[in-house]
Structure formats: C-alpha cells, structure tokens
Amino acid sequence: MEEFQEIFKKYQSIKVPEVGCDIGRLLDFSPVFFTDVAEIYDINTRLKNEERNPSGFDLNDAPILGLLVKISKLLREIVVYYKAGDANIISYLERQAIEAGIVAQYLLQATPETIENYRKCSYKDRLRILEAPENEGFYATKAGKRLKADVLTQLNAEGFSTASFEVQKKHNWKVDGKSIRDMFKALGLDALYGNVYGLSSESIHASWGHSMNFDLHYNEDQTYSAYPIEMPADIRYVAPVVELCNPAFIGWSKRVNLNEHDRSLKWIASVNRRLFYAFDAVYAAKDG
C-alpha cells in the first residue's frame, strides 16, 4: 500500500535509537516516530478485507473500530501538544487514548453479548433524556424536542427500546459490571493501572494533585501562587500510551483478516520499546 511505503521510506535513512543514544537524538526522533504511528493507526482503521467486509462493519465490529479511530485521532493531537510544550492538555488526551485502548482490547476478547452490553452502556445519559418529563423546562422547547427525537432515532436504529437496559442498570452501567481497572486486571495489566492510567485521572476530576503539578507555584514561604504558564512536556511518556494501544490494533488486524498488514504494527511495538528503554537509560544515568 502506497501510504505505508511512503512512511517506511524515510526510515531507510533514519536509524532507530538504541540504548546509549544521547537525549538530543531521542528528542529529534520521537515526534517523527509518534506522528507516523498515528498515521499508521489511521491507515489501519481504513483498511478492510473485501471478502470479509465488502461494505462496512457490523455491530459486532463497529464498536471496536470506533475506539481505534478515536485512538488515531487522539495520538495525532497528543504529538501536536508535545511539540507545543503543553503538558496540561496532554494529560487529558492520553487518558482518553489509554482508556479506548484498554476497552478495545477487552472487546476484542469478548462475546457478541458483551459487545452489545458495551453499546447499551453508552445509552446511560441518553436514556435519562428520554425518561425526562415531556413539555417541562428544556424539553418543552423545540431544541429539547429535537434532542429527544434524535436519541429515539438512535435507539430505534439499534433495535432497542427504553425497556432494553435492565441488565445495564443492575450493573451500574458498567460493561459486564467491570470498571476500567477491572479491565486492566482482566487483560493482565493491573500493575500498570496506577502509574500509567490512574494518575492521569487527576486531570479530569478537579484533583488537588493535578493543581499542584500544573496550575500552582509553591513558594518558599509555603504558600501557593497561580501558575498560568503551560508546562513543557516530556515526550518519552507517549511510549506507554502506544504500548497500551498497539495491541488493540494488532487484535483488530487479526479479527478482520488483515494479517498481511500487521507487520507495520509489530514494527511499531518493537521501535516503541527500544525508544522507551533508550529514554530510560538516559534518565537513569542522570538520576545516578
């Protein structure tokens, strides 16, 4: 495929960093590589095996594909914000990418019943809209009526009714009753939850920890002042994001019979780990 060939052509003249490379070379290589990873992910979401899928993907595949498209878009933006030196925004984007990668991996191993469960869980707030009293407050307006009609159209398109969600209500609108942490554990990734995903949740939940890291300056007299300047970002932290997202793309390639294209994804996994270890060696030397 020409798009793949154009990407890999540049790596014929660019040597992939190894442990022992200086930080300058790592910082030069990383934005190029991660930009290309996002592009390869985008290409993979647009590929299909014509024999298996002469048109699009059914409701057993589409939820997974949607998550992969989300990851490719997010990773592209993550690299943009690293170049801009905005660590605050990156923390929001990386958390979403990791969550999409974990859920996609979980669904790739799941039964059609679980995938339907996942789809139904997305209707939590939409169902509240449908259950809201008619002709009261916002729902008495034309905009409110249009919103209700749009939600009802979505519901009908999937063959659901307002009575289709008893299991989801029972499980508190969690897929198979599992939280994201439970999915990490089910995938054998529980050890990574706290430092890779858990800490980034502070960016969403108005956390004091997040304020200390990004929005406040600690003064010598033990008081705090506003820190309105964006903090520079360390691009080495994209590697764990790719580590948690890449298996979902490999799993998708196998699921939809695109095995001839998964060489690019295996290449990503190999280079990403080499890059991570090269960065780790540099910072270990500094700490030592």
Task: Give the integer Cα–Cα distance in Å for 58 and 42.
Answer: 19
Task: Give the integer Cα–Cα distance in Å for 76 and 80.
Answer: 7
pTM of the full predicted structure?
0.91
Q: Where are the domains of the chain?
A: 2-111+177-287
Structure tokens at 144: 């409110």
Task: Give the integer Cα–Cα distance in Å for 151 and 161.
Answer: 11
Tell me which amino acid residue 233 is.
A
- At residue 167, the pLDDT reads 95
Contact in structure between 130 and 147 (CB atoms under 8 Å): no
To the nearest 10°, the Cα dihedral for 123, 124, 127, 131?
Answer: 180
Contact in structure between 74 and 42 (CB atoms under 8 Å): no
Name, in order, each residue with C-beta under 8 angstroms of 15's C-beta and a sequence gap of 6 or more: none
Written as tens digits, the pLDDT of the chain (288 aa) is: 788 888 988 898 888 888 988 999 999 999 999 999 999 999 999 999 999 999 999 999 999 999 999 999 999 999 999 989 888 888 889 999 999 999 999 999 999 999 999 999 999 999 999 989 888 899 999 999 999 999 999 999 999 999 999 999 999 999 999 999 999 999 999 998 887 887 677 777 788 888 888 899 999 999 999 999 888 888 988 999 999 999 999 999 999 999 877 889 999 999 999 999 999 998 877 665
- At residue 54, the pLDDT reads 95
- At residue 175, the pLDDT reads 96
